[in-house]
Structure 1
Amino acid sequence: MRVTAVAGAAGALVLGTVGYTAYGAAEAAWTGKPYPVADPAAVARHLDARTQTVYEALALRPEATPAPDHRGDDGITARIYGACSARGLSHLLESMNDTGADQPRTAALRARFTLTGVTRPEWEEAVGRARQSLTAQGWTVASSDESAPVPSLTLTPPDTGPGSLAESASLRFDPAYHTLEVSAGSECASYPDGTAVDQEGRPADLPTGTAPTRPPGR
């Protein structure tokens, strides 16, 4: 009788453990893997500093100056639509819609400025300097299309910033307007509790992005 009781208790414990594990797995599948959490203001300041680092590596002549932001895309932007998809089976039906489903209180941040007065030969020299300088500091080339009609270069830094978010920095030259875009962006991250948001759900009170503030290294 005693052996039977012990075996029964052990069996109940195993079944309970299996049941709890199965419940945990089901809950994780239902809610989905959570996005990392990071303070959006801290991430914005960090990305803004990244653009300054890349700008210094370009070592452009002083005549390359900030361009007017006609499209309103420069500075600090927070993408909440079509960037950070809702995760988990609980959003399965929503994700089947044409627009998909976006994760609440989650955004992908970017810092960017545009320089004007850059010629194609100057771009080629500058991007070569930036590639050499940054890779020597541990950056890696993520993608390169420097011979395209609108050439670009994307690099990944050797370390991460707030929230240990994955990030990258990009250079893009538009020969039609003689402009060079410098940007840095991070993966999607959720806001900590208490973060103020605007009416659309973007983080409020983000810092203002800065155009180049340091003299070129050339």
Structure 2
Amino acid sequence: MTGRRKRLIISTAALVGIGALLTGVLAFVQWAEPKWEGEPYPVARPADTAARLDRHTQTVYDALDLPRARLDDHDPDQGLKADPSACRRRGLQHKLDDYQDPPPSEPHVVAVQENWTLRGVPRSEAAPALERVRRKVTRLGWKVIPGRPYPDTIGLVLEHPGTGDRISLMTYPEDGLNVSADAACAKYPSGTELDRSDVPLLPPMHAPERLRRDPAHSPA
């Protein structure tokens, strides 16, 4: 083998090695960048999400079929809420944020929630009512999420396989039944109307419509 040919073989091997190294580096960067940056939150209008959750809880109320139940207007958690504190920053670059109390939230990202409570629902009526909800909502494609309610309570949690929305029902002591719906965190688009705290404004809550239309069904 001549010296020239030997040098050519060595140069070719070196180029192949460099190419393989660069390919490996590129593959590593492509693998590592999403983990470092974190998966971006989906984009959704909070008002649209709130309206969707309101429809979910109205469906639940209709399925409960509790005509004697009253709306608890004194429930401090009642209403629709856009919660920025529920949405953490994603990615390995923010891993140290977990050690802060509280951890910082992702800017312009909120989780929309709806909550209301019925009164006048004894345990003897709550159990069959939750079973009616389970049957109706699972027929619509929702999945039951297994879990243990608190002692002396009855609970039901359902999740929509497409949106990830969750509906939760739980009895309260004496005669209360709480209904809540939650959507996953989502980034709101530019131009979203905000309140004075820079939190997205949401439309009024309508569910359960019959009780909101008829003051006689709300406790004094």
Q: Is TM > 0.5 for Structure 1 vs Structure 2?
A: yes
**Matches of 1:110 and 1:175, distance apart in 2:** 23
1:85 to 83, 88, 94: 88
Are the aligned partners of 1:115 and 1:180 in contact in 2 as well (CA < 8 Å)? yes
* 1:83-112 alpha-carbon deviations (Å, 9 max, x no partner): 222112322332212322321111221122
Match of 1:50 in 2: 56
Shift of 1:35: 1.9
2:204 to 208, 212, 216: 208
Show the 5 A alignment for 1:3-18: 14-18=20-24
Shift of 1:54: 0.9
Structure 2 counterpart of 1:209, one-letter code? M
Structure 1 counterpart of 2:187, one-letter code? S
Structure 2 counterpart of 1:54, one-letter code? V
Shift of 1:142: 0.7
C-alpha spacing 1:21/1:195, structure 2 compared with 1 (3 Å): farther
Q: Per the alignment, in what secondary structure is the counterpart of residue 202 of structure 2?
A: coil
Identity of aligned residues (%): 36
Are the aligned partners of 1:152 and 1:172 in contact in 2 as well (CA < 8 Å)? yes
**Matches of 1:69 and 1:104, distance apart in 2:** 32
Q: 5+ unaligned residues in a row in structure 1: which ranges?
A: none
**Matches of 2:148 and 2:97, distance apart in 1:** 36
**Matches of 1:92 and 1:136, distance apart in 2:** 40
Calculate the TM-score normalised by the size of structure 1: 0.79
Shift of 1:134: 2.4
Query: Which structure would you say has the larger Rg?
Result: 2
Structure 2 counterpart of 1:212, one-letter code? P
Structure 1 counterpart of 2:72, one-letter code? A
Calculate the TM-score normalised by the size of structure 2: 0.78
Match of 1:29 in 2: 35
* 1:104-142 alpha-carbon deviations (Å, 9 max, x no partner): 111221122211221121112211222222233333211
Q: Which has the higher helix share?
A: 2
Are the aligned partners of 2:127 and 2:154 in contact in 1 as well (CA < 8 Å)? no
Show the 5 A alignment for 1:177-192: 178-192=175-189
Q: Per the alignment, in what secondary structure is the counterpart of residue 41 of structure 2?
A: coil
Show the 5 A alignment for 1:57-136: 57-61=63-67, 63-71=68-76, 73-81=77-85, 83-136=86-139
Q: 5+ unaligned residues in a row in structure 2: which ranges?
A: 212-220
**Matches of 1:193 and 1:18, distance apart in 2:** 38
**Matches of 2:149 and 2:38, distance apart in 1:** 38
Match of 2:47 in 1: 41
C-alpha spacing 1:140/1:22, structure 2 compared with 1 (3 Å): closer
C-alpha spacing 1:200/1:14, structure 2 compared with 1 (3 Å): farther
